[in-house]
């Protein structure tokens, strides 16, 4: 009988085996309990997004802010935070759009890398393959259309009940420089901005919430809350929370970042084109409220129909979510 001689593994093989062992240690198994440290790690992608924004805008915003502070007229007038921000953005001028471009380029590079490395490769669960279904995806789009209508009604209701809140919100939007719809800004608002935010909130943050042991329904609500708070103003936070929960649900249902990106892009597109058209005709508040109620009904109907879509259930297997650190 031939004597058995153990084969000595190479350094590369040992490294791969070590990585596999670490992944298996971090598997989120049912009944394993809630891991608070992993929950905290769900905030890291959001913090990283803020850091990237700071890095991208510093070259244009810092010189502009110094110029505003050195303006003699500034010392003689009283400015609140929004007025000061608007003055800074006005001083920065068209160079702000290049900061937005730098932001999406840096963020896309970072979050695409992290999403592929920590979600797609370890599990294969959220790969683009089979993202859309013939029965369900039209209802996903219908739900987003309904949520746009609900948002219009919500904004009209807030404007009626508390006009000063909407006035502050309008000033905030104008202070961002996004109202100057140059082709570059449109690309950022319609396409690249939504892609970045989906990779951050649904792609990374949501999956880390799941990896912490949180139930799916709770994780969907929590990531929606993160998404709402990220917008940092009361009006936008409310409808962004609702939108974030809906997109999070669709992301989980169809197991694809392409679905959530499509939802976000469509919502922003509707908010630019249809909202602008409505503002042009300036219909009475009752019309906006009707649109809001109808939109909410459409969204709820569409979500029910998405739940009845059997295609995702047929292709889903026994998938295990793996958590990997930042």
Q: How confident is the model over 87-142, as pLDDT tens digits?
A: 777 777 778 888 888 999 999 999 999 999 998 888 766 656 667 788 899 999 99
C-alpha span between 245 and 58 (Å, rounded): 32
Q: Would you say 182 and 95 are in contact if contact means Cβ atoms under 8 Å apart?
A: no
Q: What's residue 178's pLDDT?
A: 65
Maximal C-alpha separation, the chain: 97
Query: Which residues lie closer than 8 Å to 301 by C-beta, 6 or more apart?
Result: 142, 146
Task: Look at phi and psi of residue 63 and say left if phi exceeds 0, alpha if psi is from -120 to 50, else beta.
Answer: alpha
The 3-class secondary structure across the chain, one letter per residue, is CCCCCCCCCCHHHHHHHHHHHHHHHCECCCCCCCCHHHHHHCCHHHHHHHHHHHHHHHHHHHHHHHHHHCCHHHHHCCCCHHHHHHHHHHHHCCHHHHHHHHHHHHHHHHHHHHHHHHHHHHHCCCCCCCCCCCCCHHHHHHHHHHHHHHHHHHHHHHHHHCHHHHHHHHHHHHHCCCCCCCHHHHHHHHHHHHHHHHHHHHHHHHHHHHHCCCCHHHHHHHHHHHHHHHCCCHHHHHHHHHHHHHHHHHHHHHCCHHHHHHHHHHHHHHHHHHHHHHHHHCCCHHHHHHHHHHHHHHHHHHHHHHHCCCHHHHHCCCCCCECCCC
Q: What is the pLDDT along the chain (326 residues), one digit of tens a residue?
A: 455 455 555 655 555 555 544 443 444 444 468 899 999 999 999 999 999 999 999 998 888 888 877 777 666 666 666 677 777 777 777 788 888 889 999 999 999 999 999 988 887 666 566 677 888 999 999 999 999 999 999 999 999 999 988 888 887 777 666 666 677 777 877 789 999 999 999 999 999 999 999 999 999 999 999 999 998 888 889 999 999 999 999 999 998 899 999 999 999 999 888 888 888 888 899 999 999 999 999 999 999 999 998 888 776 654 444 445 54
């Amino acid at each position: 009988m031939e004597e058995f001689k153990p084969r000595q593994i190479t350094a590369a093989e040992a490294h791969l085996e070590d990585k596999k062992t670490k992944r298996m240690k971090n598997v989120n198994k049912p009944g394993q309990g809630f891991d608070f440290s992993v929950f905290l790690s769900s905030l890291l992608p959001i913090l990283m997004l803020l850091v990237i924004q700071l890095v991208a805008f510093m070259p244009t915003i810092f010189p502009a802010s110094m110029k505003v502070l050195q303006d003699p007229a500034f010392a003689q007038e009283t400015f609140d935070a929004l007025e000061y921000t608007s003055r800074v953005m006005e001083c920065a001028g068209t160079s702000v759009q290049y900061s937005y471009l730098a932001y999406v380029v840096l963020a896309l590079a970072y979050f695409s890398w992290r999403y592929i490395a920590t979600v797609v490769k370890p599990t294969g669960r959220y790969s683009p393959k089979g993202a859309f279904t013939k029965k369900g995806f039209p209802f996903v789009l219908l739900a987003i259309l309904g949520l746009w209508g609900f948002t219009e009604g919500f904004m009209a209701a807030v404007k009626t009940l508390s006009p000063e809140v909407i006035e502050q919100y309008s000033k905030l939007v104008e202070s961002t420089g996004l109202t100057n719809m140059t082709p570059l800004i449109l690309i950022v608002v319609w396409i690249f901005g939504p892609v970045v935010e989906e990779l951050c909130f649904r792609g990374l943050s949501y999956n880390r919430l799941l990896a912490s042991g949180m139930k799916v329904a709770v994780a969907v609500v929590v990531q929606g809350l993160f998404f709402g708070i990220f917008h940092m103003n009361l009006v936008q936070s409310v409808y962004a929370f609702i939108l974030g929960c809906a997109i999070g649900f669709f992301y989980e249902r169809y197991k694809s970042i392409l679905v959530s990106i499509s939802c976000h892009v469509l919502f922003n597109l509707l908010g630019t084109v249809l909202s602008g058209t409505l503002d042009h005709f300036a219909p009475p508040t009752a019309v906006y409220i009707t649109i809001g109620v109808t939109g909410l009904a459409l969204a709820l109907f569409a979500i029910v129909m998405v739940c009845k879509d059997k295609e995702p259930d047929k292709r889903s297997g026994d998938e295990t979510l793996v958590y990997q650190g930042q």
